[in-house]
Structure 1
Amino acid sequence: MPGDQKRAPVYEALQAFEKKRVVPFDVPGHKRGRGNPELAELLGEKCVRMDVNSMKPLDNLCHPISVIREAEELAAEAFGAAHAFLMVGGTTSAVQAMVLSSVKRGDKIILPRNVHRSVMGALVLCGAVPVYVDPDCHERLGIPLGMRVEDVRRAMERNPEARAVLVNNPTYYGICSDLREIVKLAHGHGMLCLADEAHGTHFYFHPGLPVSAMEAGADMAAVSMHKSGGSLTQSSLLLTGPAVSEGQVRQMINLTQTTSGSYLLLSSLDISRRNLALRGERAFGRVIQMAEYAREEINRIGGYYAFSRELVNGGSVYDFDVTKLSVNTLETGLAGIEVYDLLRDEYDIQIEFGDLGNILAYLSIGDRPREIERLVSALSEVKRRFQKDQAGMLCQEYIEPQVVISPQEAFYGEKESVPLDAALGRVCTEFVMCYPPGIPILAPGELVTEEVLRYIHYAREKGCSMTGPEDPGINRLNVWKGER
């Protein structure tokens, strides 16, 4: 029997619980906000009253049997999945549970190198070995593209013992691979197909957008509801197909996810799923219209290139997410991160991220045309006031990694701290990345090359927010002491 998508079981249970005025002799210790009046003032009394602990009327996230279970079933139906897990550790925890459920120590997993750090973190935890399919890089934009089917097929033929393949669907920039064909290849080789859909929640709710992972037949997908889906930050979904054991995945989730699931996050997932199921197609239709209008206006300014479906080539760019307002800035003589900083500091506009050559303005269901106009106007002003000579600009965003040992072996192995430039030729044991988007420049087990060091120095000089290493200034790097 189909579920009633107008319902929100977790939210309804919270409302019913609030009306009972239960005396709390359990956690959390702020006791509905009374013990922390400043917190209640900041968040509002209704919010802190709903910050409650697991109990029979509200179910338990670790082993749901009532309202959370119902919410998961409604989410699964809305997203076309066999099962959906409500996640309160962000899509990072969903990605890690997905990988941990698929591979173990020594297993191979095929994936693009431009994955989020959460994937690499999962490999550190489980000991699986990455087999990278190096994506093409767009010469003008300097961004990594999708995985070509023929490259995935070649990787599978060379590594027939691999257990899974992971696909970004889409990338941060909106690039999509041929997911249907990759799923067919994976299943034909006895492998699971996993999708990192952190930036693809909306694919499930509008026919004009690229194919979703579940529609394409993928076995699991990590869906970041708090990004384009409208739920609270840190809330996410893990979707699974019919061939995946729900019980096994639940066990993997419970290895790392909190036993004190936030009902604020859970109810936001429940309410947001309901909103998308009832109004998602209309809402994302508006987002598409706003993004297309913004692209047209930005490209009229000159110096910027707001790219879109013209990149589609049937291979490394099989499809494109038109809601992603990605803009190349290099012809203005400004790095993307410089435009990112100028928009915030000079015009009070906070966009999602800027890298060496591009910016991304993240559009979703809460945006309005007036903000689009303000962004377009600000970009025009940035060009007029701050445009520079383009000479010496670096645009290359993808550096082919040289993997020496597994991420787990490097991360847990004996290491030493050396000055950054002295790490040349050594094996890195930690992550180095610009955040956002959180795609590692270096990951544990990879060789530190001259190209990598040049990129790190340039990114710091341009003002990228560098994260990952034990040394927050990234003046030193931890490297492996073992024999290569």
Structure 2
Amino acid sequence: MRKGLTQENAPIYEALVRFQKNRVVPFDVPGHKRGRGNPELKELLGEKCVMMDVNSMKPLDNLCHPISVIRDAEELAAEAFHAAHAFLMVGGTTSAIQSMILSVVKRGEKIILPRNVHRSVMGALVLCGAVPVYVNPECDETLGIPLGMRVEAVAEAIRENPDAKAVLVNNPTYYGICSNLPAIVKLAHDAGMLCLADEAHGTHFYFSDRLPISAMDAGADMAAVSMHKSGGSLTQSSLLLIGPAMSEGHVRQIINLTQTTSGSYLLMASLDIARRNLAMRGRQEFERVAALAEYTRREVNSIGGYYAFGEELKNGDSIFDFDVTKLSIHTLDIGLAGIEVYDLLRDEYDIQIEFGDLGNVLAYLSIGDRLREIERLCSALAEIKRIYHGEKKGLMVQEYIPPIVTLSPHEAFYSESESLPIEETNGRICSEFVMCYPPGIPILSPGEQITKPILDYIAYAKEKGCSLTGPEDANTERLNVIKGV
């Protein structure tokens, strides 16, 4: 790291401020020329924002091959997140996850992972041709959600697939549930495998001793971190962290295969400033967020009917730890699916929460939340129960259906396919993705057999108003299946 730099610095932002003072005449892109060519954009975003929407140049470094201010920002991020190196990612955590997987496995090689991964993981397998070895997570039958990976299940997968190159772990899941990451890292390393972490929802783990262990502190080799989720940077900005066993140069080459050559300085500056904010104030801020979440859990549970679950779920294995900042609320006992509560909050109370699935809602709490909004949420939930409370009978509970895998995602995605009405696809092999978004965990992935329980689940999700994404048919009335299979 350059001498004199500390966590109080924000090198990219500081370079942008210096650049603005120079009043450079722009004969480069972007074409709006500091907003002059697009006054509506300037009015929307403000003069300071469009003035900082600039292209790579010598004073501002280059994201594809950083040697000055971007390099400094990456090294400060690595220090803050306990990594050997950190890469600034402007394609979201999807890009970080895909770069992470493409760095460690290639066509025909195996990677061990839970089936309840984000669609970006499956997309990476389509791109590189690696073969997934699924560890089916346990499920909580009451909450209807997938849990973490049991250590013994991972050990069994490693024993049965000693040629696998890596193990991938969610740290945490969307619902805040963590597997025993240190034990899984040790299992992987003892078998000569790498351990990767999808840490999209665990940015804050690096800034609190009362939260679950972070991937880098657990010894993982790579972690994809969504700074824009709980870290406070702009949407679409993330970090990719690596440990000492990984080659920085190789990972950079992989990143550059798919990441834009026109990196947004607004996104990079937001990462820089957010990292500085977390390094300087993160510990006290996330203590406050955790306390706010615990208070909210008590308030929601006092309403009756709802269940805002927390650390009491921990069992030492499939729920090794729990992220207490996550406000996940089970809704079925008031007679409403989670997606129905989600819609009511948005449509009737102007409250936008993160997502609702068939049995739960998730309100995402972070450094920007205040008590007054919490009180408004709790009041709305109480009123929804009073007005819309019904019988639980007939509501689907199960949120996870173990897949029947017949082909690799790559092979299935690129196979010749045909489109059929969804009701005629039972028993066929899917060649596309189907998922509720958010959270973006596939119900079906390419190469998996379509079964009656899956079709029932899709129909029920549509009936309840879930947003289904992935299929070529936007209405999910038809599915693409492998021709002749």
After TM superposition, is the score higher than 0.5? yes
Partner-residue secondary structure (3-state), 2:147: coil
Match of 2:435 in 1: 433
Partner-residue secondary structure (3-state), 2:140: coil
Offset, 1:225: 0.1
Between the aligned partners of 2:437 and 2:8, the Cα distance in structure 1 is 37
Between the aligned partners of 1:311 and 1:419, the Cα distance in structure 2 is 41
Greater shift, 382-391 or 320-329, is seen at 382-391
Match of 1:361 in 2: 363
1:236 counterpart (221, 235, 238): 238
Asked whether 1:7 is paired with 2:4, we answer no
Amino acid aligned to 1:165 = V
Amino acid aligned to 2:445 = A
Between the aligned partners of 2:278 and 2:7, the Cα distance in structure 1 is 9
Offset, 1:427: 0.5
Match of 2:284 in 1: 282
Offset, 1:98: 0.1
Between the aligned partners of 1:85 and 1:248, the Cα distance in structure 2 is 12
Partner-residue secondary structure (3-state), 1:213: coil
Between the aligned partners of 1:56 and 1:437, the Cα distance in structure 2 is 40
Offset, 1:481: 1.4
Between the aligned partners of 1:480 and 1:61, the Cα distance in structure 2 is 40
Match of 2:147 in 1: 145
Q: What is the CA RMSD across the aligned residues, in angstroms?
A: 0.7
Between the aligned partners of 1:357 and 1:10, the Cα distance in structure 2 is 43
Between the aligned partners of 1:19 and 1:26, the Cα distance in structure 2 is 18
Match of 1:206 in 2: 208
Match of 2:73 in 1: 71
Partner-residue secondary structure (3-state), 2:146: coil
Match of 2:351 in 1: 349
Offset, 1:111: 0.3
Offset, 1:248: 0.6
- CA offsets 1:167-212 (integer angstroms, 9 cap, x no match): 0000000000000000000000010000000000000001100000
Asked whether 1:295 is paired with 2:297, we answer yes
Match of 2:225 in 1: 223
Match of 1:258 in 2: 260
Offset, 1:45: 0.7
Offset, 1:257: 0.4
Amino acid aligned to 2:268 = L
Between the aligned partners of 2:259 and 2:432, the Cα distance in structure 1 is 23
Match of 1:390 in 2: 392
Between the aligned partners of 2:176 and 2:34, the Cα distance in structure 1 is 42
Match of 1:44 in 2: 46
Between the aligned partners of 2:413 and 2:484, the Cα distance in structure 1 is 12
Match of 1:403 in 2: 405
- CA offsets 1:264-303 (integer angstroms, 9 cap, x no match): 0000000000000000000000000100000000000001
Match of 2:137 in 1: 135
How many correspondences in the alignment? 483
Offset, 1:336: 0.1
Partner-residue secondary structure (3-state), 2:192: coil
Asked whether 1:101 is paired with 2:100, we answer no
1:476 counterpart (475, 478, 481): 478
Match of 1:463 in 2: 465
Match of 2:185 in 1: 183
Offset, 1:69: 0.3
Between the aligned partners of 1:395 and 1:435, the Cα distance in structure 2 is 18
Match of 2:161 in 1: 159
Offset, 1:482: 4.9
Match of 2:273 in 1: 271
Offset, 1:105: 0.2
Between the aligned partners of 2:213 and 2:313, the Cα distance in structure 1 is 17
Between the aligned partners of 2:282 and 2:153, the Cα distance in structure 1 is 35
TM-score normalised by structure 1 residue count = 0.99
Between the aligned partners of 1:416 and 1:39, the Cα distance in structure 2 is 43
The 5 Å alignment of 1:79-98 reads 79-98=81-100
Between the aligned partners of 2:55 and 2:168, the Cα distance in structure 1 is 35
The 5 Å alignment of 1:302-313 reads 302-313=304-315
Partner-residue secondary structure (3-state), 1:194: strand
TM-score normalised by structure 2 residue count = 0.99
5+ residue gaps, structure 2: none
Partner-residue secondary structure (3-state), 1:405: coil
Between the aligned partners of 1:423 and 1:429, the Cα distance in structure 2 is 11
Offset, 1:46: 0.6
Offset, 1:76: 0.1
Offset, 1:366: 0.2
Match of 1:338 in 2: 340
Partner-residue secondary structure (3-state), 2:186: helix
Between the aligned partners of 2:103 and 2:8, the Cα distance in structure 1 is 32
Between the aligned partners of 1:419 and 1:161, the Cα distance in structure 2 is 40
Deviating above 3 A after TM superposition, structure 1's stretches of 4 or more consecutive aligned residues are: none
Asked whether 1:326 is paired with 2:328, we answer yes
Amino acid aligned to 1:177 = S
Offset, 1:217: 0.1
